[in-house]
Structure 1
Amino acid sequence: MTLSRRQALTTTGIAALGAGCGPAVAVTAPLGGGAAAGRPDPFRLGVASGDPWPDSVVLWTRLAPRPLADDGLGGVGSRTVQVAWQLAEDARFRKVVRTGTVAAKASGGYAVHVTPTGLAPGREYYYRFRADGHLSPVGRTRTAPARGAMTPFTFAAASCAHYEHGYFTAYRRLAEQDPDLVIHLGDYLYEYAPGSYGGANGAVRKHTEGKCQTLTDYRRRHAQYKTDPDLKAAHAAAPWAVVWDDHEVEDNWTGTVPGSSVPGFTARKRAAMRAYYENMPLRSAARPSGTKMRLYRRLTWGALASFHLLDTRQYRTDQPCDDWLRTGCDDRNDPGGRVLGSAQLSWLDGSLRASGARWDVLGQQIFLAQRDMALGPALKVGMDAWDGYTAERDRLFDVLAASGARNPVVLTGDVHTAFAADLLRDFDDPDSPRVGVELVTTSIASDGDGYRDTAAIAALLAENPHFAHADQRRGFLLARAAPDSLTADFHTLDRISRKNTPSHRTTRLTLPDTARALA
């Protein structure tokens, strides 16, 4: 009998793993004997992988036998821990292809980033770690296909998971879809103090104490989120490619401008960036230096798709007209307003021109299409979206049009509502040229139980004729890329205030090859 990927991960428990190691590939406890064996399980935050290339992928874990320890170091203390790792072609680790040992240190929050190289392209792998006499859970990952491959694949997009607002069931439902890649578009965690950001359900569960301001605060908050079993399941199911939005640091921050009046933003940003790197399966190129962190990058998936991952926070000028929904804000048309910044926009231009892929997918955070929230002749738009930076949006559209990208598709998060929209050169003219399509994933949990207000949706779609879909419920996006089309399925959950609720595919949209509009 051949096990499915999900069955393999489920049935290959720690006892089976120990028995499955042959003598030539066995992982021994790096610290040896009885003392190590008597320590508590350090793998309570699970495992993850990310940024797959054709010949390598990042493997991650972070040691934390007491995840919420007051010092932010997970209860490990101050010692250095030797962590062994294995990468195999099968979930029972009978065909181990790479193995090694790495030191986990207090200075790095006891995080482990391993990047085995020389791997076969387009191959599924399984990985695990061992430390202090304990084996980690098993994760499934894969490498990207070889250059030129046109193999269809499935990717998921997720965003916005507020721990207090609901359970992370959507992550588990996402994992059950067996995606080949997960794109996380930001707001992986929220920095708020307990109860300070209310959702529709109130607080289903509580944040660690205080607003995140120090490195210890951010480490503990990341650890709290990583203890969630549904999030751990999603990380173990597939490699992730992550980019942040604002709440990984602070609500509505841009560049050097804080989103609040709390003092010490520079130190807070430095701490948040360091904790973000420690807790994500990122390559070493993303390691922060002070208050700078390079997150924009391109991942290729054979000749079928290129993922251009963008950072819309770090290089942005301050939002005009006080951040929120506004009418009559002339400053939003300021030519000096920036979202990507000149260097990142120039990089994107080069990345698109070099791609040559059938599908060019831009993973970014804030709503790109014009979104008019007022009924009637007035225009009411959000300043913390591309609507607050119309000149920069025009520059982005110039790049998309001039690059020759065959099928530009933009993935967006942030707004806690699912949308699909055509991207028009002039949003006030429904017949103006299309430059691409935007697919917006709703939140995993932020704002609590969603709802389906059909009258409000109908009015919103009428006000914005370039919209093809809107849904206020929680969930995720699952897309299937093939040479002739890209199919986007919007999955929703009726509620997240209860555990283990089912999800449903509520809408399917199809984008044919070379057609720049939704069908």
Structure 2
Amino acid sequence: MSVHHAWVGAPTPTSMRLSTRTSGTASLRWAVSTTQDLTAPLYSAPVVPDAEGLAKHVITGLAPGTPYYYGLEADGTLLADPLSRGRFTTAPPDGAEAPIRFWFAGDRRTDSDHPVYEAILARDPMFGLFLGDLGYNDPQTEEVTRYLWRTSLAQPRFSRLVRECPTLYTYDQHDFCGNGSWSGSPNAAAAHRYARDYPATYPLPATGLYCTWRIGRCRFVQLDTRTLRSDPSLPDGADKSVLGAAQRQWFKDLLAASTEPLIFVLLSFPHRPGAPDRWGSYATEFADLNAFIASIPGLAGRMVWLSADMHTLAADDGSHSPNGSVQLVGAALDQTGFQGTGGLYFNPESWSHGWVPNPEGTGQYGWAEITDEGSSITLAFTGYDHTGTALITLTKTFGDLLPGPLPGSATKVRQNDKWSAAHPQVYTNGQWHPAPRRDRHAGQWH
């Protein structure tokens, strides 16, 4: 039998997912252990690969924030093939004030085995975010889509990265159906199916790659900019959409209900106006989303948009953002950079902390480290090249994040240098009365 690829992803505090493609086996199990020799492993349920050799595995009962090693068992035999072995670390406890580190990038060549993938893995990320353009095949047929996925995962360095670092994936035009592609493009159904089958994913809706998850106290929201997109040739208006009505409403509902102090929104292209085949062709929906975000006090200040697409590293502290949110771009993994012109999208001067296109032969990616101090969260972004040179940085602290007691719910008060359960009293009009009480909540006194 043969193992063609293993892709680990979708970390939670107690579980992990794996996608595999094999041939010549009737049944597979995933063996997971805290030791590299896989002593006393936990096992996933047996899975029968489909006609393409693809199988999805889920392991549960893991410990939060713990490094694990894994291997594949085929028809009762634990395999020694390096392509069947990998490692990962589970997410910290949900809601924990925990450090987080991850990479994000996009824009790679289909047959690339660039050293950038080794450089990313050497930083020991907790997880990674692949934000579009697995290759530049612009597939118009299922045959080309199959070639794109199988060739990409046959490259040793890239294959090892997704085998040893939990990686989430969404596509953009060049790994969907090409420039201007949308839900009605001839190859859209095949591109959608492969993007769900080959990577490991969090639970997804019936149609689309959009999903959400939490790591520590941070919310991550992955948007799908292709599967549900309207025909770009239609006149702009309320019914013309990048996200589609269902995903757009899901996104709004999620933002309205979110209580996390930091929200990362994953988009295959930067959240900026003007550029064709991005928001420039869907200006009404772009304005509607920004108006919705602005309608919720403080929401934009808690959001960070992550994207690829431009073949450059770029960072903005919100001073050039349509809604004042931080915007970070991690690209390109190994595509040549370019200097576009126009508006807030391609203008280097519209990125407060810099814009660094790829020189030929250079691999670039975004790196994020989050330090959670309870009362504040600090995000440190660095754009690296494959040699480890830091090309661009941005650090931002999101402060005053302690939730505090709900208004009127404090059970103790500080009085005369000691804590007391009794409510403080004030003497007015010849009598003692309960003092007016104010509680600290969501950064304000109530």
Q: Report the TM-score range of the alignment, normalised by the length of the smaller protein.
A: 0.7 to 0.9
By relative contact order (CA 8 Å, sep 6+), the higher-ranking structure is 1
Distance 1:503 1:451 in 2: 21
In the TM superposition, what is the alpha-carbon distance from 1:283 to its structure 2 partner? Answer: 4.4
Partner of 2:208: 294
Deviations 1:38-96 (A, max 9, x none): x5xx1242x221111233211222115xxxxxxxxxxx5xxx62123201122221242
Partner of 1:479: 368
Distance 1:63 1:169 in 2: 26
Unaligned runs of 5+ in 2: 341-345, 401-446
In the TM superposition, what is the alpha-carbon distance from 1:284 to its structure 2 partner? Answer: 5.6
Q: Please tell me whether the aligned partners of residues 153 and 159 of structure 2 are also in contact (alpha carbons under 8 angstroms).
A: yes
In the TM superposition, what is the alpha-carbon distance from 1:426 to its structure 2 partner? Answer: 8.0
Question: Which amino acid in structure 2 is aligned with residue 155 of structure 1?
Answer: F
Q: Please tell me whether the aligned partners of residues 161 and 188 of structure 1 are also in contact (alpha carbons under 8 angstroms).
A: yes
Identity of aligned residues (%): 24
Task: Identify the range of structure 1 (270-279 vs 93-102) with the bigger mean alpha-carbon deviation.
Answer: 93-102
Q: Please tell me whether the aligned partners of residues 255 and 314 of structure 1 are also in contact (alpha carbons under 8 angstroms).
A: yes
Unaligned runs of 5+ in 1: 1-38, 65-75, 193-210, 259-264, 322-330, 371-380, 428-433, 454-458, 494-501
Question: Does 1:125 pair with 2:85?
Answer: no
Partner of 2:106: 159
1:391 aligns with one of 284, 298, 303? 284
Distance 1:313 1:435 in 2: 25
Distance 1:313 1:468 in 2: 29
Distance 1:141 1:426 in 2: 35
2:310 aligns with one of 407, 415, 421? 415
Partner of 1:48: 7
SS in 2 for 1:281: coil
Distance 2:259 2:220 in 1: 12
Question: Which amino acid in structure 2 is aligned with residue 411 of structure 1?
Answer: L
Deviations 1:110-150 (A, max 9, x none): 11211122322333222111337643432222332222201
Distance 2:249 2:203 in 1: 23
The verdict on how the C-alpha distance between 1:135 and 1:99 changes in structure 2, with shifts beyond 3 A counting, is: farther
The within-5 A match list for 1:169-180 is 169-180=115-126
Matched pairs, number:
382
Distance 2:102 2:292 in 1: 25
In the TM superposition, what is the alpha-carbon distance from 1:309 to its structure 2 partner? Answer: 0.5
The within-5 A match list for 1:413-452 is 413-423=308-318, 434-447=323-336, 450=337
> What is the TM-score of this pair, normalised by structure 2?
0.77
Distance 2:318 2:228 in 1: 23
Q: Please tell me whether the aligned partners of residues 47 and 55 of structure 2 are also in contact (alpha carbons under 8 angstroms).
A: yes
In the TM superposition, what is the alpha-carbon distance from 1:344 to its structure 2 partner? Answer: 1.5
Distance 2:209 2:41 in 1: 31
Distance 2:339 2:270 in 1: 20
Q: Please tell me whether the aligned partners of residues 4 and 20 of structure 2 are also in contact (alpha carbons under 8 angstroms).
A: no
Distance 1:425 1:320 in 2: 29
The verdict on how the C-alpha distance between 1:285 and 1:384 changes in structure 2, with shifts beyond 3 A counting, is: closer
1:461 aligns with one of 348, 357, 370? 348
SS in 1 for 2:145: helix
Distance 1:122 1:352 in 2: 27
> What is the TM-score of this pair, normalised by structure 1?
0.67
In the TM superposition, what is the alpha-carbon distance from 1:421 to its structure 2 partner? Answer: 2.5
Distance 1:44 1:342 in 2: 37
Partner of 1:104: 49
Question: Which amino acid in structure 2 is aligned with residue 346 of structure 1?
Answer: Q
Q: Please tell me whether the aligned partners of residues 163 and 445 of structure 1 are also in contact (alpha carbons under 8 angstroms).
A: no
Partner of 1:351: 254
Distance 2:120 2:321 in 1: 35
In the TM superposition, what is the alpha-carbon distance from 1:425 to its structure 2 partner? Answer: 8.7
Q: Please tell me whether the aligned partners of residues 353 and 393 of structure 2 are also in contact (alpha carbons under 8 angstroms).
A: no
Distance 1:233 1:505 in 2: 24
Question: Does 1:364 pair with 2:267?
Answer: yes
Q: Please tell me whether the aligned partners of residues 254 and 314 of structure 1 are also in contact (alpha carbons under 8 angstroms).
A: no
- Please say which structure displays the higher CA radius of gyration: 2
Distance 2:141 2:209 in 1: 21
Structure having the larger proportion of residues in strand: 2
Q: Please tell me whether the aligned partners of residues 87 and 126 of structure 1 are also in contact (alpha carbons under 8 angstroms).
A: yes
2:230 aligns with one of 292, 307, 317? 317
